[in-house]
Structure 1
């Protein structure tokens, strides 16, 4: 999970005057991509909280409607609501459900998905970068998205959310193991010795398996 990448959303909402002074436009939107469970939604909510902005979350599959024009209408209403707020972050989760690359195979359902995606593009073009709206989109499959979404002036930034690296995994494992020592000793608090013992156990465990082919492939 990376917070620094989303400062491009937070800074212009907290300090718009800095961008005006420099004569530059902040990004309208950011694409957050990475495997499930890496904190994309959590961090989007955190940015909304830090900027005191209204947070509107919509899942891409919810915009896939069977009636012609329904998905596009929902998108228009969503942005109309966002414009009525003092500050608003619109978060499209699983955007690949509607934002996939366009193709024409004559299937009505696919055409409706494309209409919905085009409405999102129109809405991205329809508000000021220095205005009260910022758009975040999340996906596990950035390679499948329509290039139209990623053009300058729409989703100007991409932020990768990777799986925890070995250091973060170490920290979590050490904390868990230290807690286990305290539980076994029937204590309500974790001591320094618990942490030292946990560090010794966890690091030795990694060293034991780090040379095996399976471990090397996994990491």
Structure 2
């Protein structure tokens, strides 16, 4: 009987061992199954990504196979879904457009795409904004005000009268019975604050500031410069009230000669278009025109005559008191030693422009950082002035 119990116990232990082995095998199989399920899930995701990529590539291939459309401009609108168009090659055609196109969009000057075979209008394209126009410096409201400009009190008064008053209080001119000045010319050495003045006026009048360099008007393609001028003024009308600031206007405004070269003719065409815009054959609305130059002596007489740039304002190098004010403006947020004598610094910086003084303040701060000081001392300013003088 005892032997039978031992045999039974041995069988039980054997069964338990076998059961344990089966459980371990089952656990291992479960792990393998889960790993396979995970791999399958990842594979499905990868397949979907590849399917999306294939679909995208097929779309690109399909677009490459499409017949290109012709770009044209509507010149005239007729009845019966017909319009006159002009392509870039200069030919005029009368073509049709489908009824699915909104008639309100079919207007003279609109850009359209045409079928190559029938020249029928396929779609009306969005209005074009030249890349050069959009690349200009455009600020809805500059953060510069008159307090940020030092040493130009007289220029500030004149620019207020010429640009700010016509925009903010046009009734004053109506009451007196005179037309407001159309534009002003700022002239003086580089870095004296001509751009800052224009930005400050835009700030005070809540106007959009549009800045461009006159040399951008000159284009190698015939007629492009004149078109660029028109687009600048159209943009200003859209953004009005606006201030157009044309820097280095001498690039296109020099006295005209009898030169026959293509470049000279293109510059003269551009100047003529600018003069036409300044004459105001069409109302500019609340648009002020400010130009700047370092060489007023070489400008064409037609450009600076009354009725175009009515006033010329000198923006000179700052005097001693002006330099002190400029230094205080640029050091307002700097940590400086209390013993710094701005009057002495002003005497040492005679002939410096506002931009030079700002550079001197920046260099003084850099010298303080280089010497691991938390404040700017007089020696830093002396070193900075020496560095700027050697660079001028």
Q: TM-score, normalised by structure 2?
A: 0.45
Does residue 1:94 correspond to 2:244, yes or no?
A: no
Does residue 1:22 correspond to 2:194, yes or no?
A: no
Offset at residue 5 of structure 1 (A): 1.7
**Which of residues 233, 238, 241 is equivalent to 1:84?**
238
Q: Could you give the per-residue CA deviations for residues 56-85 of structure 1, whole angstroms, max 9, x where no partner exists?
A: 111011111111100000001111111223
**Which of residues 141, 166, 173 is equivalent to 2:295?**
141
Counterpart residue number, 2:259: 105
Which entry has the higher C-alpha Rg, 1 or 2?
Answer: 2
Q: Pairwise mapping of residues 7-156 of structure 1 onto structure 2 (< 5 A)?
A: 7=160, 8-126=162-280, 131-156=285-310
Cα distance in 1 for partners of 2:290, 2:266 equals 22
3-state DSSP of counterpart to 1:42: helix
Equivalent pairs counted in the alignment come to 193
Structure 2: which 5+ residue stretches go unaligned?
Answer: 1-151, 350-392
Offset at residue 189 of structure 1 (A): 6.2
Cα distance in 1 for partners of 2:248, 2:216 equals 10
RMSD: 2.7
Cα distance in 1 for partners of 2:309, 2:193 equals 19
Cα distance in 1 for partners of 2:174, 2:252 equals 34
Offset at residue 152 of structure 1 (A): 1.5
Distance 1:69 1:169, change over 3 A: same
Distance 1:129 1:155, change over 3 A: farther
Q: Could you give the per-residue CA deviations for residues 111-138 of structure 1, whole angstroms, max 9, x where no partner exists?
A: 1011101100000112578831111000
Counterpart residue number, 2:112: none
Does residue 1:5 correspond to 2:161, yes or no?
A: no
Distance 1:129 1:3, change over 3 A: farther
Cα distance in 2 for partners of 1:157, 1:57 equals 19
Structure 1: which 5+ residue stretches go unaligned?
Answer: 207-219
Distance 1:101 1:171, change over 3 A: same
Cα distance in 2 for partners of 1:150, 1:103 equals 17
Higher relative contact order (CA 8 A, sep 6+): 1
- Does the 8 Å CA contact 1:9/1:134 hold for their aligned counterparts? yes
Offset at residue 39 of structure 1 (A): 0.4
3-state DSSP of counterpart to 1:112: helix
Cα distance in 2 for partners of 1:95, 1:5 equals 20
